[in-house]
Structure 1
Amino acid sequence: MNIGKNRLNYADLNRFLKYWIQSEIDMFNKYIHIEMEEDIPEDVLFNGILRKADSYQQQRNKPVLSIWYEEQTLKLTAWSPDKRWRNVDGETGSFQGEYDALRAVERRMELEQTLKENYDDEKILNEIRELNEQLEQLQEELNFTIAECI
């Protein structure tokens, strides 16, 4: 789908992104392109967007959401973690590693919250350490960086 030129302001786009992220169903099959007249300030566009809190209960077939901006076009895509795709060089890939990393980050955040209530629980601390090691390995293997906001 291509929305093309429009009169959506940044607040409208922010609301749309929040709706898309929180939707329990896949809203489109392939992608949405939204043409912009000027560059988008990321802090405004992504204001209040962190991650879906109940991501374990989603009914989406494509839970990996990708948002990027190039050539004055905001591009949104959704992927199944195990779906294979081919890049311009003919190499195949999937988002399974990134999906696993996001799930690990989500689990770690849950454990850190539990740890605040159960200070110094060795079992929780060990699981957090294991998740951190898993995340480091995924970042190294797949050549990406996990940036977290506090």
Structure 2
Amino acid sequence: MANSNRHLRIDNTKVPENYSHKNAFKFYVCSYWDARWVRIQDLFTLKNNDTVHLSWHELTYSDMNSYIKYWIDSDHDMVRIMKLYTEERIQPESLFDGIVVLKNPGIRGATYLVAANRTKQRKHQIMGVVWDDNRLRLYSWNKNEPIRFEENVYAESWAPEYEVLMVMNKKKELEGDLERIQNSLETNQDQNLVEKKNEISRELQNVSQKVAGYNLVFRDGVFSYE
């Protein structure tokens, strides 16, 4: 029955917890009331879906951290809207561990923004994560399209925030490169490595100055405009 144009909604029906099907998330819209059988690997199969809604599930914030990391490096768009029922308020430090995040407190209470890997040719390059009405909601947008939550449009686009995320990700990338070169220099004082280290250090200093100019605050594992 799997079809990229078809909607599938299964309500008030228990599903065996060991259930699995390769086509379970190949529908344009998937809504499962009993989603205890869903594993994070199932969500990795998403491709060009519109909406996924999971009510009774056992996915953790650690699982969703893995999902967001997978989304960042995916070669294709996965899903526009994902909604998961949870009574736990959003836990930024566990949900975004190892991920560069920008918190915008002005829309929907608080929206946590994540950018896709800039080397991936994707239509939707930015993700917004919010928690409200006992649901964790993950939205994916094109950085230049109007900011839409369900049917409501809130602002022109996330383009400015996307550019900030690109600079922040570049800073993290350069810091990693610098650390790797420094480790190599501890055992090999190659002149080319020394020159490369100096080059990266200069670039990192410039990027760090750009980040400082945004006047961001780092709290609970994320950067914020607050």
TM-score > 0.5 by shorter chain = yes
Which of 99, 104, 117 aligns to 1:50? It is: 99
Paired residue for 1:26?
77
Contact 2:72–2:117 (CA under 8 A) maintained in structure 1: no
What CA distance in whole angstroms lies between the structure 1 residues aligned with 2:95 and 2:172? Answer: 24
Contact 2:147–2:158 (CA under 8 A) maintained in structure 1: no
What percent identity do the matched residue pairs reach?
A: 21
Paired residue for 2:208?
132
Amino acid at match of 1:68: V
Superposition deviation, residue 41 in structure 1: 4.4
Paired residue for 1:64?
126
What CA distance in whole angstroms lies between the structure 2 residues aligned with 1:109 and 1:15? Answer: 19
Contact 1:35–1:74 (CA under 8 A) maintained in structure 2: yes
Contact 2:88–2:134 (CA under 8 A) maintained in structure 1: yes
Alignment of 1:1-150 (within 5 A): 1=51, 3-10=53-60, 12-29=63-80, 31-39=81-89, 41-46=91-96, 49-50=98-99, 55-85=117-147, 92-116=155-179, 117=181, 118=193, 121-137=197-213, 139-140=214-215, 145=217
TM-aligned CA distance change 1:122 to 1:67, over 3 Å: same
What CA distance in whole angstroms lies between the structure 2 residues aligned with 1:91 and 1:75? Answer: 16
Query: Residues 80-110 of structure 1, C-alpha deviation per residue, up to 9 Å, x if partnerless?
Result: 22223379xx874322222222222222233
Paired residue for 2:109?
none
Q: How many residues align?
A: 140
Q: Which moved more, 1:110-119 or 1:73-82?
A: 110-119
Unmatched tracts of structure 2, length 5 or more: 1-50, 101-113, 182-192
What CA distance in whole angstroms lies between the structure 1 residues aligned with 2:154 and 2:91? Answer: 33
Amino acid at match of 1:101: V
Unmatched tracts of structure 1, length 5 or more: none
Query: Residues 25-83 of structure 1, C-alpha deviation per residue, up to 9 Å, x if partnerless?
Result: 11123x22212244454444445x5269x923212111111212123110101122222
TM-aligned CA distance change 1:103 to 1:43, over 3 Å: closer
Contact 2:126–2:143 (CA under 8 A) maintained in structure 1: yes
Q: Which moved more, 1:37-46 or 1:104-113?
A: 37-46
| Greater relative contact order (CA < 8 Å, ≥ 6 in sequence) | 1
Contact 1:86–1:93 (CA under 8 A) maintained in structure 2: no
Amino acid at match of 1:128: L
More strand by share: 2
CA RMSD for the aligned pairs? 3.5
What CA distance in whole angstroms lies between the structure 1 residues aligned with 2:87 and 2:148? Answer: 31
What CA distance in whole angstroms lies between the structure 2 residues aligned with 1:115 and 1:108? Answer: 10
What CA distance in whole angstroms lies between the structure 2 residues aligned with 1:59 and 1:136? Answer: 29
Contact 2:52–2:79 (CA under 8 A) maintained in structure 1: no
Which has the greater radius of gyration?
2
